[in-house]
Amino acid sequence: MNKIPKYLNYLFWDINIGSFDPLEYPQYTIGRVLEFGDEKGLAWIKETFSEEQIKSVIKSERRLSPKSANFWALVYGIPQCEISILNK
């Protein structure tokens, strides 16, 4: 089972981190790091998940704030019209 690195445990305050496999829940894992993480977290999701998975989360994750979704859309070159949280 894959684990969340210890330096990212603070991002997952609401789950049992010991039994959580981030690869089973990529939407939740990527979204949490994009919303609350830092550079180390971003580096980890880039190593762990594909760019397509990350882009998919940016497009569809409703738990991202509009501010975060807009930022990541700009970083990844995704048109705003493809970001669900920005097009309610």
| pTM of the complete model | 0.93
pLDDT digit string, tens, across residues 55-81: 999 999 999 999 999 999 999 999 999
Angle (CA) 19-65-23 rounded to 5° is 25
The count of C-alpha atoms lying within 13 angstroms of the C-alpha of 26, restricted to the half-sphere facing its C-beta, is 16
How confident is residue 88, by pLDDT bands cut at 50, 70 and 90? confident
pLDDT digit string, tens, across residues 13-28: 999 998 999 999 999 9
Nearest to 59 by CA among 27, 82, 35, 29: 82
The pLDDT value recorded for residue 1 is 59
pLDDT surpasses 90 at 54? yes
The pLDDT value recorded for residue 2 is 77
